[in-house]
Chains A and B, each alone.
Chain A
Amino acid sequence: MNLFALRRQRCISVPMVRHVVHLLGCCLCTATTLAAAEPDRVSFNRDLRPIMSDTCFRCHGPDKNARKADMRLDIREEATRPTRSGRTPIVPGDPDKSEIVARIFATGARVMPPQAAHKQLTAKQKETIRQWVAEGALYEGHWAYQPLKRPAVPEIADASRVRNPIDHFIQERLSHEGFKPSERADKPTLLRRVTLDLTGLLPTSEELRAFLSDNAADAYEKVVDRLLASPRYAEQRTMHWLDAVRYADTSGFHGDNPIPAWPYRDYVLRSFLINKPFDAFTREQIAGDLLPNATLEQRVASAYNRLNRTSSEGGLQPKEYLAKYGADRVRTLSAVWLGSTLGCAECHDHKFDPFLTKDFYAMKAFFADIQETGLVPDRGSRAWGAKLDLPSEAQARQLAALDAQLAAARVRLDEGLVKLATVDEQWENQLRTRWQAGELAWTWQRPIAAHAVNGARLTIYDSEVVENNFYLDGSLKTERKPGDGLVVAGGPNPDRETYLVTLKPGAGTWNQLGIDVVQDESLPGARYARGADRFLLSEIEAELLEAGQPARTLSLVMATVNDAPPSVPSTTTDPSMPPLAAIDGNPHTAWGVRFGEARDPFLAVRFAEPVTTTADSQIVVTLRHESELRAAVIGRFRLALSADAYAWPPIASAGRRIRSKDPTGAKSWASGLPDDVMKALRRPAEDRDEPERTALRDYLIWSSPELAADYRELQRVEAERGLLDASVPRVVTTVAVDPAVTRILPRANWMDDSSPIVEPAVPRFLATLDTKGERPTRLDLANWLVARDNPLTARAYVNRTWREFFGSGVSRTLDDLGSQGEWPTHPELVDWLASELIHPEVDAASTHDWDMKHLVRLIVTSHTYAQTSMAEAISQEKDPDNRLLSHQNRFRVDAENVRDIALQLSGLLTDVFGGPSVSPVEPQGYLAALNFPKREYSASHGADQYRRGLYTTWQRTYLHPSLLNFDAPTREECTVSRSASNTPLQALDLLNDPIYVEAARAFAQNALAQGGKTFAAQLEWVFTRALNRPPRAEERSMLQGLYERNLKRFRAAPASARELLTIGDAPLPATANPAKVAAMATVTRAVLNLHELITRN
């Protein structure tokens, strides 16, 4: 038996002991000894249901396929009628005639449950069943499925420790069981607790001082109101909601690429901030798109339906994945809103609750109208299916202006075109002749020098042999051959890098410069870059050096890349990284390639004026990588020059240079014509098809000097528009289409079409929707979820909310209020809170219906919440899990908050509400086991390093290791309850993760600067902030010892101090004394590692 089973066993057996053996009445009790009305009678819900659910219902319960011997025991009518064999399972009042009693006391083959089930009843359990039958075998409905009625608030004798009705429910039970509520926690503890719970951050020392000096009766309530109004409150509540709806920033299957979702996260943030009623919150997420005159906000909310994991794996079966996506939606909805395990019914009727397989698929049918594909593309314009653009007003205005400019530029180009000769024989002949004569050739350059500014090492391979490993057509090709001008970057890999390459082209006149980016398997960034998932070339510059003359800057005017044939308008694979960005003088924009897995991008840039070189002239080419994305730096490249202003950038196959197909074989240069044009030229004009004719015409436009200015202008506006467009926030959204057919899938087999089609419906035992004959919609579903007579939604929500303030739910199984879930310790409290959530008693006008803040305020202003967490001996002994809440609980703060607290204390925390997700530093190589594309993590810069954990990019298959270490869920599936582990990996993280070292250092700097003159004063400053209390004498002496020992060490080894202090990006004041700051940083680091710091008390 495992630990969990043991616990379960105890929960079941203790009431039996008490009941059967008539032990000490109320003194012997544990969490599950419920508000027992009549201690001598067996209660079905309290005593029988847990036993029968665990041991009988699997074979004699709701699942008709699993049912044995035609016997059903979960319904009284069934259990009391004779079965086919003629025996009657239960004869109320007569255990001796009841088959089940006979069988549970039987031995050998007849015993129930059978040996094979590995479920044995204890003697006490058997006795309980016998007594229950003797007492009339009265059934009770399962609590969570009963209609919700507001229970009366129980009277209690001693109301001295009562703040609101919650305390009545808790204390009535406590007094019944012989316990007393604890006293209120001291003010610092209380402030720290409520601030952590409501905001995930610590109270500041100013807040602490203000609270301590406020002696008003409602001082605490004022604090609560202040916290509830804070954006930090919205962030904290959002964090938990995101677990439930499994919000993430990547798709979760296979290549796990980024998915545009964060505007949905911001919708949740805003909803909690404005305290949106939970019913509206529900409707908007599930059916925001279906609301009458849906607002943009509501359509953003409907992204909820698209947060499931999706796959872009080639060769997947769309039908299979659509089945997966649909099932995921049912599981999530059922756990989050219904607190139910409807997911179990995907393959079979639920074994313990009255959910049928048909119910599962009928629920799935509600989502059949969502526009989606099984294979969800993760790149290109169709990426992620339906999306919403969310431009700001300024962005929308600018886009409109650029669209007008674009239209005008097109008109000008068209007008120019009219005056131009069309594609004709003469032009073609000229073109062919020029090409054959090598006039359109690109001449590869063998640089005479190459170096990098920030530390990388550039090696030029001319005749030296170099190994190339490239991936082409499904297999790895390896070749070793002379480099022929290849430049390879090695050594240090700084985030930003600039290459200076000197060419000596010999005598000639040049009109274009070409950069051939060479892919290689050794490069982690999509095979091109030394990091990131792409390369980003911010700027290309060129200078001409002539002996005895000052360097002359060569202006660059036109940029064309070989990833598409010429066209009007010009095309680029990714408008957010247009070629022109490499010569626009703006280091914040860049040309780049992200998903170009099997091509070698070649960028051609045109000189404004022809450049004439002599035998000794040198051209210095500067390649700047200044992007925010770290290490998006080209790893291997070649440079080329072309004499012709309109030589097309050559298409080179991966890793190899394709030579001209000149039949004489004498020339060795790269082709300067697009493949499509070559193809068209080889064919007689009358045989050409439309694409070939278009290719010729587009090339004519691209290569006509008369149109160059107009074409350039068009390209400029397009680039500007592309860059602006890329900065417009986007989010996946729900678009309703004709509903797909939904069938029951026998045993979830997606290939089996033999079962009936189902229409949308909610589980039949709960309700039947009246939609006047229309097919029920997601909006009907949402309305039902938050209908007054839905018994589950409010109970599930209240129970889950309770956990955030006590460490566990009133029923600990947050995702299963059903018959296998834990019976709540205080069912009436759940019902009262649920009633209060739906419609507060004081509020006749229903303006606070479904008021989430009201619920939270009720909880945190109760005495129960405010109690000290110190347990009395009796509670430790009799109620070790504190299920009766005779005191508060202590628990570790959530993963994101571990980080938030350290950043807050250090003063580094960036206080920004919402916005795109950010990427805190993470260990090198963490994404190395990902592919499609091959990539390396690029951390954010500056203030974005120090955002709250909530805003961390949620990479499902590789969640940030620090979040994972502290039990943040990957959000591949819905999670309504996080575990709280305590592992050595957490210790390593807090000790050595650079963010915590940096935080400790910044905290130390501030302590030295602001904490006073003496170590004692500084330590007090640190403690007041971190632990909201002064240090005890022993603590001070231990930490002073640590400080002095380390001060000595750092004075002896000043270089070590500087090493420690330069971890992270935060600046170190020039005036700082390194040894002192470093020694103090070891003290603050110790404080950041204290159990007390990350414990909410």
Chain B
Amino acid sequence: MNQLAREISRRAFLGRGGAGLGLVALNSLLHPRLAAAASAMDPQSKGVINPLHFTPKAKRVIYLYQAGGPSHLETFDYKPKLADMTGKPMPESFTRGQQIAQLQGQRLTCLGPTHGFKQVGQSGQMVCELFPHIGGIIDETCIVRSMWTEQINHDPAHTFMNSGSIITGRPSVGSWVLYGLGAETDNLPGYVVLVSAGRGGQMQPIAARQWSAGILPSKFQGVRFNSVGDPVHYITNPRGMTREMQGDSIQTINALNVLEDRSQHDPEIQTRIAQYEMAFKMQASVPGLLDTSHEPAHVLELYGAHPGDGSFASNCLLARRLAERGVRFIQVYHRDWDHHNDVKNNLIFKAEEVDRATAALITDLKQRGMLDDTLVIWGGEFGRTPMSQGGTGRDHHIKGFSFMLAGGGIKRGFAYGATDDLGYAAVENPVSVHDFHATMLHLLGVDAAKLAVKYQGLDVRLTGPEGGTVVRDIIA
């Protein structure tokens, strides 16, 4: 390389205080961020909302999304009276004039809880006995038993839960947060989605739309990390290219782009150069990050994770690793909660897949001092009917279901809201999807009413035109 090229490449590649192929940056991201413990809450943000509207209580979100619609009646909503009603007609006073999905036009018969419940924790909450590990950390959580939503079919219900709108093209919750707050890392995407592999036949299709940036610039979209093949698309060098060769190529490309910049003065070129640098860093950081095999045995054991299996348990562990490295919003999908048939046996499988891992994540975050500033959300797009479908199953249900929240400024050991005696409708302190969104944003220091973007000439409020109310009672 001649003198000029060297000079240019220094400027382009190392000129930001690094020492050789971004090694400093690499070091910093191969080791977990240690700053997590010192979580002095700072209202300054790296996003468009700066300063934040409120002092934040949470810095990041881990959203364990249970797609398909988990039965609240076999998880967190204990309904002894429904058990007494098993096999009897559902009183018409509950159901008249209401939307139902596959049970449309059928005789409605009650189906009591198919599993027992136990009183757990010092708070003495009732949790389904299939979930002993969650029962063990129940005092860290707040169960919201009065969620309700507006969409009764999976696809629109996911879209509504994830974007506050049923109109396709609206940004998803993760992209709101990334847009508003920015990321704490520039070596990894700020919004990461993990979709778990699992056993089960009714696996929900999850459209990439669920983590789309919609009308926001696409850099705010979620990036799905895959459990098979490349963890991020195209993150692996072409066969036959070593990291050194890749670095050499990127350095040359950037040097050529710098030359072009000298004649064109196009700010996009500077951005392009920076993006190639970040791509190179991601190539080093992502595969190692996703390799959980070096986690201590007791940690793997805690989660029940087997490195590389793509399971929900492994993804919960990955979520913690991502959170440590400054990823702002992490969504972990479990896709198999649509139990139109045989809810009893299906729930046994599902509990095996999520109970231990969910509890482990909360325990692990707490041990690392990260639970206080990490909001953990567990819930699906709707619940399931107290009426049976085909004798053993439950249909989609939007009038009442449960969410579990922990950390990030949430009040602990506490249940909020209630459904009626039969678990049909949220009757006490109902929480809408918009309320949930507003509360989540509030914990992050953002006023949902002020989170807007100009689109089609309008200030489009990202959380939807209706807006929600912050549920202050569940905030510590």
Contact = CB atoms under 8 A, between A and B. Distances in A.
Same complex origin of A and B: yes
Interface of A: 2-5, 7-8, 53, 118, 253-256, 309, 311, 313-317, 320, 324, 341, 343-344, 352, 469, 471-476, 478, 521, 751, 813, 815-816, 818-822, 870-871, 890, 892, 923-926, 928-932, 934, 956-959, 961, 964-965, 967, 970, 972-973, 979, 981-989, 991-994, 997, 1032, 1034-1035, 1037-1039, 1041-1042, 1045-1046, 1049, 1055-1063, 1078, 1082, 1085-1086, 1089-1092, 1095, 1097
Given A341-B456, A970-B209, A982-B271, A923 B279 contact: no
Given A316-B153, A997-B238, A934 B203 contact: yes
Nearest to B452: A2
B17 interface: no
B232 interface: yes
Contacts of B1: 1037-1038, 1041
A782 B271 CA distance: 45
Interface string B1-21: 110110010000000000000
Interface in B266-317: 266, 268-269, 271-272, 275-276, 278-279, 282-283
Contacts of A118: 449-450
Contacts of A1062: 239
In the A-B complex, the 9 residue pairs with the smallest Cβ-Cβ separation, listed nearest first, are A474-B341, A820-B457, A471-B201, A1060-B240, A1059-B240, A957-B207, A315-B102, A4-B454, A987-B279
B457 A923 contact: no
Contacts of B237: 991-992
Nearest to A1090: B256
18 contacts: A344-B458, A472-B201, A476-B201, A813-B457, A923-B230, A923-B234, A924-B229, A934-B203, A956-B207, A958-B208, A981-B218, A987-B272, A992-B237, A997-B238, A1034-B4, A1042-B252, A1059-B239, A1090-B253
Contacts of A991: 234, 237-238, 246, 249-250, 279
B168 A311 contact: no
Contacts of B223: 985
Nearest to A870: B264
B395 A315 contact: yes
Interface residues of B, number: 102
Contacts of A313: 153-155
A1034 B353 CA distance: 58
A253 to B, nearest CB: 5
Contacts of B255: 1038
B265 to A, nearest CB: 8
A1035 B228 contact: no
Contacts of B99: 317, 751
Contacts of B2: 1034, 1037-1038, 1041
A928 B195 contact: yes
Contacts of B200: 471, 476, 521
Nearest to A876: B265
A469 B417 CA distance: 39
Contacts of B246: 991
Contact of B167 (A973, A986, A1085): A973
Contacts of B341: 473-475
Contacts, number: 290
Contacts of A1046: 245, 248
A1038 B233 contact: no
A474 B228 contact: no
Nearest to A930: B205
Contact of B275 (A256, A478, A890, A987): A987
Contacts of A985: 223, 232-234, 279
Given A4-B454, A973-B168, A988-B282, A1085 B249 contact: yes
Contact of A961 (B217, B233, B455): B233
Contacts of B253: 1086, 1089-1090
Interface string B207-236: 111001000011100010011111011111
Contacts of A471: 200-202
Given A813-B456, A929-B335, A474 B340 contact: yes
B252 A981 contact: no
Contacts of A959: 208
Contact of B346 (A311, A317, A476, A1038): A476
Contacts of B218: 967, 979, 981, 983
B101 interface: yes
Contact of B217 (A475, A476, A979): A979
A43 B229 CA distance: 61
A379 to B, nearest CB: 15
B259 interface: yes
B104 interface: yes
Contacts of A961: 233-234
Contacts of B239: 1059-1060, 1062-1063
Contact of B205 (A254, A818, A1034): A254
A390 to B, nearest CB: 30
Given A992-B235, A1035-B259, A983 B219 contact: yes
Contact of B229 (A5, A818, A923): A923
Contacts of B119: none
Nearest to B238: A997
B457 A2 contact: no
Nearest to A927: B205
B457 A821 contact: yes
Residue among B101, B206, B240, B450 with the highest chain A CB neighbour number at 10 A: B240
A1082 B249 contact: yes
A821 B252 CA distance: 43
B279 A984 contact: yes
A892 B271 CA distance: 13
A994 B238 contact: yes
B59 interface: no
Contacts of A973: 167-169
Residue among B155, B166, B199, B201 with the highest chain A CB neighbour number at 10 A: B201
B355 interface: no
A273 to B, nearest CB: 31
A987 B254 CA distance: 11
Nearest to A1041: B1
Contacts of A1034: 2, 4-5, 8, 259
A642 B58 CA distance: 68
A2 B272 CA distance: 23
A816 B390 CA distance: 50
B264 A890 contact: yes
A1091 B274 CA distance: 12
B245 A475 contact: no
A468 to B, nearest CB: 12
Contact of B256 (A7, A987, A1035): A1035
Contacts of A473: 341-342
B447 to A, nearest CB: 9
Contact of A314 (B102, B206, B260): B102
B476 interface: no
Given A475-B346, A929-B335, A982-B268, A521 B275 contact: no
Contacts of B206: 929-930
B450 A815 contact: no
Contact of A255 (B205, B272, B449): B205
Contacts of A925: 226-229
B96 to A, nearest CB: 13
B168 A972 contact: yes
A988 B229 contact: no
Contact of B457 (A315, A316, A352, A870): A352
A306 B341 CA distance: 34
Contacts of B233: 923, 926, 961, 965, 985, 988-989, 993
Given A892-B268, A991-B249, A1086-B249, 5 more contacts: A476-B199, A931-B203, A991-B237, A1035-B256, A1056-B241
A676 to B, nearest CB: 24
B461 to A, nearest CB: 10
A7 B458 CA distance: 13
A410 to B, nearest CB: 41
